[in-house]
Structure 1
Amino acid sequence: MLHRDNSTTAIEGLQQIAVLETLLAVGMIMGLAIGTAAFVVSATDRAVERRAQVTAITLIGARARTMRAVQCVQRSCSP
């Protein structure tokens, strides 16, 4: 009878480990989803904010090619 109690305890321990692994995986997936959503919101906000500035510079005569080059350089140098 002692052997049966030990195996039951071992099975319960393995089930608890499986539940913890599942919770950890769900937490990591939710963290990734929230991080991705935050990045998309931030990128969209920056694009909308820059739109007025780009339009103003374009209206005073800057070429589209020059604007794209400047934006690429700014993105690669920004922290």
Structure 2
Amino acid sequence: MVRPPLSEQDRERGLRLGEILRAARGDRTTVEVAAQAGISVETLRKIEHGRVPTPAFFTVVSIARAVGVPLDSLDLELAPVL
């Protein structure tokens, strides 16, 4: 199955996701949050900077838990504007 190319909205949503998670990380280092989330530091950096605009669901869940962001608030923040 061929994956359709990402739209501009997908890329913008990925950037917003990264901004939200980076802001929620606060003063903690990427090393601390990545370890708590059980992911690599490089994966966290890529997501925070929008280089992975559509990260895996469970990766987002792990990071959100590590930084204390409820998934429902992420959903509200990232919902497409209609």
- Please indicate the TM-score interval, normalised by the length of the shorter structure: 0.3 to 0.5
Larger radius of gyration: 1
TM-score (norm 2): 0.34
Higher helix share: 1
For normalisation by structure 1, the TM-score amounts to 0.35
